[in-house]
Structure 1
């Protein structure tokens, strides 16, 4: 999941977008297919799911790089025990199963498995045994993330990603996880949003800016190695590393430097899409400490799928994270609801599928609110939880629970559905294509 504060990252984004805008012309490119009046459902093989991560939801966190960042006062909110998934995983998995979904995504925390060099905690493995078992018992397929930005504190003492032993240590843990859980036939994610991971390590003091190339090289080496290992242990495995999509242009400075080097070892393309880039972004300050104020352009999910379907025409595409933040569960300033955003996003996925894109699945972020890398203010959950003020950590359904249940059972939005808001003209999410060949909605 994306953190709340991405100001420095955004500056890079905006500089790149500004340069790209200069090339945007009104001349027409090859016309996209005429939008259909009726949309077909996504079909019985489509993988509906939810996404989550271990550190953000489990609580009772062992020593890690992120536990140290929080203890050092580098985040607005303490972690506490988040939504206490460590003790409430069965009920949260049951809530997910009630949606009718097929995939439950979660992370396996290295710090929980290996508290010290050469020391493995069987209790940690037993916890994940129970989590994976509960997912399968509920009729869902696990999606296991091997790395969602967190590593053990003893690795931080060695220098984190700058240590020459980091990649061998990472692989030793990952191989144990693969050996233990390949029999559950999970979908595999090696690294969550590699470039943003590096940015956060630098911004929180875990890595020097000069060591970022070393980290990204290490991610490439680790992914390539564990990909081969997974396929030796789990020959039919599907493996990816998910990409944070902001803009087709920004992609060249975001995850592409990693993805381009592991493209031959990706079985599908995992894509995270949350926010649009409004046309006035270059002149209006965007504060990612308050992500509920960010522009939401659901049609951007179509542009993201289009971008990667062109870059990787032989690979299936999977939306692995998508959702809408609110400020402590309050309504958005523009009246846009979680249900609106969900329906509109699924409409554009169905449009992408209708236009020939090989979309295999969609995971909503997340089943509950959780720790958004420093804050509990930004809430994305289908079930909202007032973590700071409600000791009972009661899961309260948002309007999107019924909406997602209906979507899953129908295989999409109704065939005659129309988005609640029109596509943004000349969207910065995909320029110049959205200028030369913009998306439209039938009357």
Structure 2
């Protein structure tokens, strides 16, 4: 079983990048090893009732101790690139104390990828803020943006142009809104004003860091990764269509719009005026500094209708869903990238930096026949093809995830990997979806 694309699709040509993706806290484990300090996710996991089954990331996939094995595994897939994140708590375990053991781990990772012919795509921040910064207010505190700049400067000084692509932040929406506004992720606050303030400071940190990153790694690409769950109208009415526009502006476009225009979306600013963040003169111009790429994380869509106030209200439907309960809707990826291409003249090239499915198929006779995930990838690759054919500039696609891992507030209950992980033995087993990727990538090379 493999993936099929139309003959001569640009997605099968050599310039299109294929990769797999992970995040440090989700796979590394070794949370007290070699000088690493506590992160907000360590603290969150230790707080009763926050993570399903009381799971934590203390061992996860033990990637920290199994690096060479996992690098060989990545190589065996035949991918062009590997997208990973650096754990800030490994690098700066106390203010202005830079941990050589942390740098050396990621140096082994980066050099190991290069030796194997795999391009390193590095994410600076995938949600694991050092707890000592949270103790001073975390992303609510403007000072954290400046601390991030120093961290970004140190990483890019060390690894420079060995890294092909640097991403400042993965999914600021989750950092700010899910973590500070809705309380589902670390640090677990549920306050609208705190969420908007955190969002502004994350975007400010991104913009502030870019000049230092470009100076230290002038040959690398520098950008950011945003997540989107595009809305669709429940009915074809003016009210529901307007609710869709508000929903999109309050979701991923809340972060994309200022990056492209130096302004926050007006309809949300007006509606949520009481919650708007403190913005200092010049902040929005810093946020809107040019980027070389925009990463898109897409998993699903939502269907909304206008409530009595004209605001979006999500409507549940009976369409097929993945095991986490997210609707399978590949056309949403096509429509989303078309919409942002129409909307922003200065939109940079796009990368699909995460796309995948929770498929909890269990091993049977040593095999994992995760056919739902295989079909999901096939459908979404076709959606990317359709977007490119319509004129959207998409340069690459990263499958989420390389391996089953710690799925944040879901603990270990959801499996997104194309490689199965037995969390007791740490044995890795290539699933049917992983085999499909191998076959697809080999076919591409053969062409």
| Cα contact 1:178–1:233 (8 A) shared by 2 | yes
TM-fit CA distance, 1:393:
0.8
- Tell me, yes or no, if structure 1 residue 266 matches structure 2 residue 291: yes
Provide the rounded CA distance (Å) in 1 between the counterparts of 2:303 and 2:420: 27
Alignment of 1:411-430 (within 5 A): 411=444
The yes-or-no answer on 1:212 pairing with 2:195 is yes
Q: CA deviation at 1:215?
A: 1.4
Which residue of 381, 390, 393 corresponds with 1:346? 381
Change (3 A) 1:160 1:317: same
Answer with 272-281 or 102-111: which moved more. 272-281
User: Corresponding residue for 1:162?
Assistant: 140
Equivalent of residue 329 in structure 2, options 274, 279, 297: 297
- Aligned mates of 1:170, 1:121 — CA distance in 2: 16
Higher strand proportion, which one? 2
Question: What is residue 40 of structure 1 aligned with on the other side?
Answer: 9
TM-score by length of 1: 0.77
Q: In the TM superposition, what whole-angstrom CA distance separates every residue of 1:170-199 from its partner, at most 9, and x where no partner exists? A: 111111011111131321111111112112
2:434 aligns with one of 392, 395, 401: 401
- The answer for unaligned runs of 5 or more in structure 1 is 1-35, 415-443
Matched residue, 1:386: 422
Deviations 1:24-63 (A, max 9, x none): xxxxxxxxxxxx9755242110011111111111001241
Matched residue, 2:406: 371
Distance in 2, Cα, partners of 1:356 & 1:86: 41
- Cα distance change of structure 1 residues 160 and 279 upon mapping to structure 2, 3 Å threshold: closer
Counterparts in 2 of 1:166-181, with a 5 A limit?
166-181=144-159
Does structure 1 retain, via aligned residues, the 8 Å contact 2:83–2:120?
A: yes
1:309 matched to 2:292? The reply is no
Distance 2:290 2:135 in 1: 31
The 1:37/1:55 distance shift into structure 2, 3 A limit, reads closer
Contact 2:110-2:163 at 8 Å conserved across structures: no
Task: Give the number of the structure with larger relative contact order, counting CA–CA contacts within 8 Å between residues 6 or more apart.
Answer: 1
SS in 2 for 1:350: helix
Give the unaligned 5+ runs of structure 2.
32-36, 232-244, 261-288, 306-313, 365-369
CA distance in 2, matches of 1:408, 1:37: 15
TM-score, structure 2 normalization: 0.77
Shift of 1:211: 2.0
**Offset of 1:98 from its aligned partner?**
1.6
My pick for the range that moved more, 114-123 or 65-74, is: 114-123
How many residues are paired up?
371
Q: CA deviation at 1:336?
A: 5.4
In structure 2, the CA distance between the partners of 1:355 and 1:205, relative to structure 1 (3 Å rule), is: closer
Instruction: Give 1:251's aligned residue.
Output: 248
